Structure 1
């Protein structure tokens, strides 16, 4: 029996497209004309879970970007109020500190669709909307900075090799050994002590949180990119670029970087939900954002009222879970689309 000859494997052959025997057919020509990015996005469009998660993420992005307009449309605001105007402040009554209207003891109040926070009298919907903006802003900025740092260090370490690679790999391993939570617990009191009385404390706090998340998030991207570059730098097109005298910077950013699109997209899609959860967790512990609206801070304030006012806790908790779950599932779908060999 004669062995059947097989052609080289391409990204198109790994797609979900049916097997085509005639290379001159119209369908074969359409597939052969697609770039790897087009093939990957084609898989994403056929994934119902990915589309659903993308819609959920888009909803949260719209809420974050248009938070001011949405809050104005519902007539809610973050402005502080006199607590006794909206709360039961008669200390002779049993429901002290709870809202005079709406949950948990009164019917739905259209002026405050998500209810009113006990003890402070803050509007829960306003804090939910602006908490969404805070989470996505911090997580998005931290993901951007961590990705840029990780990509640059991974490119340089993998391409340079030798002493440069050993030094950068040591730095990566060193940062990986530092416990993230311990570092956050150490840095936060220093920031509070140094800038606690500053007029721009809220901005400094958000900036420092972005810096902390970025500082302990770039290492995974750097190791991933370094491993990919170590294999790519021995390819023929890199050797050809070196022979032609192409500058190193051009080789890194014009030749290598376009071939790293898939791992970069995958790492970003998985890093973003991790930072959203980390921001909420740090705010819950009181070392994250405390000067502005935050889901984690609202969850921490709602825990003591769980028995009588569960809605107060469920609202921000559902927001965190829905956003992180949608981002994680979307990240898995992106990984499967760009790397079909990992398809479950």
Structure 2
């Protein structure tokens, strides 16, 4: 068994290389490396897989390049509404939230719900009341989340009357915005975490797969940890993360085969662009995607970050 393993994703979909400027590509690569190092530092110090995946996701939530936390997309009403989930494979405990508007790091609140409440999922105002009254979170004004990039994206979506998982001017025009991490710690415990700002121009409190245990997020010791990204409605209908787990538990499929068969099977048949990052009980990491790109990364045997963006990419050190 590996001493520990860590892998992350920053969203999947149509990421167009010919539109990607060199400096922007390097910014994404460095952002992925930063997230990996945040999680690695926890694992190197003997910390838990839960703390490692939360640290990795916090790094991406704090970076406006990604659709989570600081970089979340805007709803039709020009607000940020965020979802997140974390799961501990050791005891199948989980915490999730949806529709929060004033939480700087939703993934931290998801962990607090898991460890500090008797519930798995809290929503909207209730989740925020728990955050401020019982979990020590500080109220974060919507201004913190506002970026010109996301506002321009919203205006573009409104002009066509659509909800979108896309960017309006960036080379990842049709990237599905979610961030996630999976890890195995030195004690053999698996964990998964996922966070998102959801859909641009979304209405009516729409929720995707990210906070739904078994859809966008799942972890079970002796089995696997999975974080998914893509077209949330399709991922929900196919319960992607639990399907991968089940194929391994009951069908004796390898992690690689289970991920490939799910991502490139029924989901693809339903027209669902998506990707997953997963790790098994032996620390083997696997990425699967059925679209042109997924921001992703893991650690090499020396603990150094390796990252990739496009579907044809191999994982390489950040400065290559």
Same fold (TM over 0.5): no
- For the aligned pair, the TM-score class normalised by the smaller chain equals under 0.3
Higher relative contact order (CA 8 A, sep 6+): 2
Choose between structure 1 and 2: higher strand proportion.
2
Larger radius of gyration: 1
With the length of structure 1 as denominator, give the TM-score of the two structures: 0.23
Choose between structure 1 and 2: higher helix proportion.
1
With the length of structure 2 as denominator, give the TM-score of the two structures: 0.25
